[in-house]
Amino acid sequence: MNVTNVTNFKVISRRVGDVAVLYPQGYLNNIAGENLVRECNICLEREIRKVVLNFSETDFINSIGISMLLGITEKLKDSGGTLCFTNLSKAYIDTFEMLGLARYMHIFPGENEAMRFLTGINPS
Amino acid sequence: MPFNTIPIKDFVGRESELGYLKRFAGLRENAIAGNILLEGGRGLGKTELIKQAYRIIFLEEKNIVPFYYLFQRGTLKAAHFAKDYFTRFVRQYLAYLKKDPDFIDAMGTSLTRLIPVLASLRVEWMIDLIEDFQEQVKSGDLYGQILAAISAPVTAARKSGRPVFIMLDDFHMATQLYETSPGDVPGLISLFESSMKTYLCPHVLTGSPEGVLETIFTDNSFRGKAERMFLGQLPEDIAYSLFKSYCDKLEIKGDKKIVLKFLRVLGGNPLYIRNMVRTLWKMQRRDITERDLWESYSFEVSEGETEFYWSSIMGEFIMDAGQRRTGIELLMHSIKSNSEFHGTERLAKILGIPESSVISVIVALQLAGIIQGGDKIRHLKDNVLQDFIQSLYMREVEGINTQRIQELIEAKYSSMSGNVSSSFEMVIPMASDAELVAAKAIEQIGRNINLAPDVINHLQLALIESCINAMEHSGSYDKKVFLKFNVSTERIEIIIESPGKMFDVEAVEVLTVEEKFRSEHKRGWGLKLMRTIMDEVRVDRIGDRTRVILIKNIKRNEVAG
């Protein structure tokens, strides 16, 4: 498990088979967003093209953070990969839907559902 | 006329704008500022604001001469305008020198009779100006008269070394100046260009129909010579203070929670607030109930001073009876469909009249400030104006009598109920993550009124965005963001103010999600996010600050169990 810490923001990551699960913690703003982008780039460099972002420990995502998430989504898609979002609070799911972003995202209630979608295997 | 103002202690909620206008003349003298374009809807107090500024400058400033001029339909003929403008300037200048406001209104005294007074004050150059103007009138040189009138304040400023602060009220009317018949010489307004360029003569120009002043300033001669200042609605707490100050004078009492609910319908409009209190007094209501408020309201919009105000404006811009009916039907159609006007071709089919008639009525309604112009023509989001139009429609189109109209308007509002309210203020620095402190504050405020956690989260997101905008767009050395939360169990109003540069909403590029995905520039979600979450987002320029107002109306299902 890796831990990257920028001011009040941390990204913890772990690898499950060919899937990387990232846990952004704290406030996802511009600085933190760049950090998260870097983490995703590392995944791509390591040929990991299935990424789960678990937001269970994310306090807030501001509009700059949202734009960073769009960038990551696009980059993974262009690389033939898939990005899944899990454990988003209802407020964020509503917001992504209202902004028209949800249809471009794979959003799941929890990590297990996302893993099943990515691997076709029921995680134990 | 410019001294015909309400007492300064009753002029609440516009302190920062007034302070800015007072400081503005000095800034201009030092070539720091340009002219001010004061915009805002009807009844929001633009005239009162510049008159208050006039009075203060007149009484307190030793080295700045204020000049106020109101453009009116009756003096749009160029020769009349020139004489009126010049005469008023001379009188106001003299009144300032004598520190005697009586000279301003002494319109019966001829200019020639003022000459001895001017001589006693040793302002011979003003006597020269009068003689020159009279010479132009004698020779029948119309352009000479207009130029002499418009340039009189400039000459006075140059000769005396004292700046003249020129306040031109309803300046958009100057687009209609004419020589012998309306529309014969378009463009006379451009003769103001030279005056506006003079650093010793700062101008404040007002105009009601939003966008009309801006249209004038698309003219090359004016472009770049003015900054915009918006006069928005009064925030809820200030509107209440104003209402209460009028009520206190007339010994009217009322429960705050009921009054606040009522004031929301008036939309923070000082004119409506004053009219409603007067009506309560005329109806001899002293200890007001909710029913009293709606009774006075229904009276006001159907036959009171507010009805008279809007009827006069409609009458001024639409004189033909047929056009008036078309206007009423067109506005009613817009209210009913709760949307933008459809294209003129479709409207013509709906109303069964030629498209040219629809177009001319729309233009008149735009000039009257009843509908907004621009690419999309919309009716104003003004409850009182809408109720006035509905009442007009019921009376003139449907033939319903006034008593029944008032009953229907009362019924529309009387089921509403009041609620507890409170207000919080805080200042955050323009520093990294400071917006999270504001987010924490709104979280606790939301908990206090038992808001559902998801709703609190939404409010936090919108507030964070507004704070970030304030920090990113300000560019000010005063690195602070001022926040105010006006809260009731039915509504939350958040006011975010930041000094420095204006956050220009119009400049925000609107891209679709698809375009954002394709674009390198993926940012720019803030305003959309705020508008998506909140019921209303308003951006105003208040003096040297940008004010963003976020409003959330709380629905029953948004309150925790």
- Model confidence pLDDT, tens digit, residues A19-53: 999 998 888 888 888 888 898 999 989 899 999 99
CA of A40 vs chain B CAs: smallest distance (Å): 17
pTM listed for this prediction: 0.62
> Do A95 and B468 count as a contact with CB atoms less than 8 A apart?
no
Q: How far is CA B360 from CA B29, B211, B294, B329, B340, in A?
A: 43, 18, 35, 14, 18
Q: What is the pLDDT along chain B (561 residues), one digit of tens a residue?
A: 677 777 777 777 787 888 888 887 666 555 545 788 888 878 888 898 999 999 999 988 888 999 999 998 888 899 999 999 999 999 999 999 998 888 887 777 788 888 888 889 889 999 999 999 999 999 988 889 999 999 999 999 999 988 999 999 988 888 888 888 887 877 888 888 888 888 888 899 887 655 566 666 666 656 566 777 888 888 888 899 889 989 998 999 988 888 988 998 998 898 999 999 999 999 888 888 888 899 999 999 999 999 999 998 888 888 888 888 888 988 888 777 655 566 778 778 777 888 888 888 888 887 777 877 654 555 567 889 999 999 999 999 888 899 889 988 887 786 554 454 688 999 999 988 899 999 999 999 999 888 999 999 999 999 999 999 888 877 666 788 999 998 887 789 999 988 876 666 655 566 677 676 666 666 678 888 898 899 888 887 766 778 888 999 888 778 775
Q: Which of B464, B465, B515 would you mutate first to test chain A, the one with the most A CBs within 10 A?
A: B464
Q: Which of A30, A55, A66, A69 would you mutate first to test chain B, the one with the most B CBs within 10 A?
A: A66
For residue B523, which residues of chain A lie inside 8 Å, CB to CB? 63-64, 67
CA of A18 vs chain B CAs: smallest distance (Å): 26
Q: Which of B442, B512, B513 would you mutate first to test chain A, the one with the most A CBs within 10 A?
A: B513
> Do B525 and A63 count as a contact with CB atoms less than 8 A apart?
yes
Which of B465, B512, B525 has the CB atom closest to A67's CB atom?
B525
pLDDT attached to residue A29: 85
B551 pairs with which residues across the strands?
A: B493, B536
Backbone angles phi, psi at A121, to 5 degrees: -110, 140
Listing DSSP states for chain A in one string gives -EEEEETTEEEEEEEETTEEEEEEEEEESHHHHHHHHHHHHHHHHTT--EEEEE-TTEEEE-HHHHHHHHHHHHHHHHTT-EEEEES--HHHHHHHHHTT-GGGSEEESSHHHHHHHHHSS---
pLDDT attached to residue B464: 95
State which amino acid sits at residue A82: T
How many other CB atoms sit within 10 Å of the CB of residue B23? 13
For residue A104, which residues of chain B lie inside 8 Å, CB to CB? 513, 517
> Do B523 and A67 count as a contact with CB atoms less than 8 A apart?
yes
Q: Which of A95, A96, A97, A104 would you mutate first to test chain B, the one with the most B CBs within 10 A?
A: A95
**What is the C-alpha to C-alpha distance for residues B176 and B129, in angstroms, rounded to an integer?**
26
Cβ atoms of residues B222 and B184 within 8 Å: no
> Do B433 and A98 count as a contact with CB atoms less than 8 A apart?
no
pLDDT attached to residue B420: 47
CA of B337 vs chain A CAs: smallest distance (Å): 24
> Do A95 and B523 count as a contact with CB atoms less than 8 A apart?
no
Interface residue A29 vs chain B (CB under 8 A): yes
Least confident span in A72-76, A102-106, B27-31, B132-136? B27-31
Query: 3-class DSSP state for residue B505?
Result: helix
> Do A60 and B436 count as a contact with CB atoms less than 8 A apart?
yes
CA of A63 vs chain B CAs: smallest distance (Å): 5
**How many CB pairs (< 8 A) connect A and B?**
68
Q: Where are the extended beta strands (E) located within B398-544?
A: 421-429, 480-488, 491-499, 536-542
> Do B457 and A101 count as a contact with CB atoms less than 8 A apart?
no
pLDDT attached to residue B22: 81
Cβ atoms of residues B193 and B221 within 8 Å: yes
Residue B424 CA, distance from chain mean position: 26
**What is the C-alpha to C-alpha distance for residues A52 and A82, in angstroms, rounded to an integer?**
8
State which amino acid sits at residue B208: S
Which of A8, A64, A101 has the CB atom closest to B433's CB atom?
A8
Q: How confident is the model at residue A1 (pLDDT cuts 50, 70, 90)?
A: very low
User: Tell me, what DSSP letter sits at residue B190?
Assistant: G
